[in-house]
Amino acid sequence: MEQILVRELRKHQEFDQALDIFQQIWSFEPGAEPVSAEMLLAFSHFGNYVSGAFLGERMVGASVGFRCAPEAGGFVSHMTGAVQGKGVGTALKRHQRGWALARGITRIVWTFDPLVRRNAQFNLVKLGASVTAYLPNFYGDMADGINAGDESDRLCAAWDLTSPGAIAAAAGEFTPVFVAQDAESALVSRDGWPERRETSAATVLVQTPEDIEAVRTVNPLQAAAWRKELRETLGALMEDGAAVLGFHGRSSYVVQRRAHGR
């Protein structure tokens, strides 16, 4: 099996290849691309992060990030995507982590769609990142093949690169989230539709749909229902001070309510 090589990109044709990767993944409408070759060139030239993952001579993944204000995290991972093979996304994020640490950056932030199970699993379990905020309709309307027709709610992820979880994840060791025995479900899937349940438990489980991207295609009303119910459960819990402890069973957020004093 060929080894995945990740390196920074410097050449014009490499930036074009990275854009092709992003287009294959997101299918942006003309004029809706979030980055351009010129932007990638500027990012790379002026000390930001632009990398590609290669199998042999062929680029199979790319990642773009930029520095930001320290109080906002110090570094934003803007886009990361892979078009082939397991392990490409992990290789890109490990390279990004090493790049950041070499420059004294110890925290990386980014956003992801809370309805996409595989992203929650990757970010919270495989990388050891945490969730810091629920952002309703963060990007507004998005004109691409994945997000079009849905509101762009996002979770803000924070990856503390020197935390025990991140260090363990970098070594391929994943620590499952602890779920209290008295935890109760606040949102479940019933026949593919979201069903909210009233609960006052201190620890709650918030389930996600099996494949929200497929649901958007075949049943937009069902996808909209999931967006609404997740916002009104997970979003409301976080607005009230609850903390996301992790992602359990490849399906559900584990959320700890904030303790209210008398």
Interatomic CA distance for residues 227 and 212, integer angstroms? 10
Task: Give the model confidence (pLDDT) of 133-183 as tens digits.
Answer: 999 999 998 988 888 889 999 999 999 999 999 999 888 898 789 999 999
Residue finishing a domain among 61, 76, 105: 105
Q: Kindly state whether residue 122 falls inside one of the protein's structural domains.
A: no
Residue finishing a domain among 44, 75, 105: 105
Interatomic CA distance for residues 36 and 14, integer angstroms? 12
- pTM of this prediction? 0.94
Residue finishing a domain among 70, 85, 105: 105
Interatomic CA distance for residues 171 and 152, integer angstroms? 33
Instruction: Return the CATH number at 26.
Output: 3.40.630.30
Q: Kindly state whether residue 15 falls inside one of the protein's structural domains.
A: yes
For range 234-248, the mean pLDDT? 97
Burial class (CB in 10 A: 0-12, 13-18, 19+), 130: buried
Q: Tally the domains of the chain.
A: 2
Task: Give the model confidence (pLDDT) of 14-47 as tens digits.
Answer: 999 999 999 999 999 998 899 999 999 999 999 9
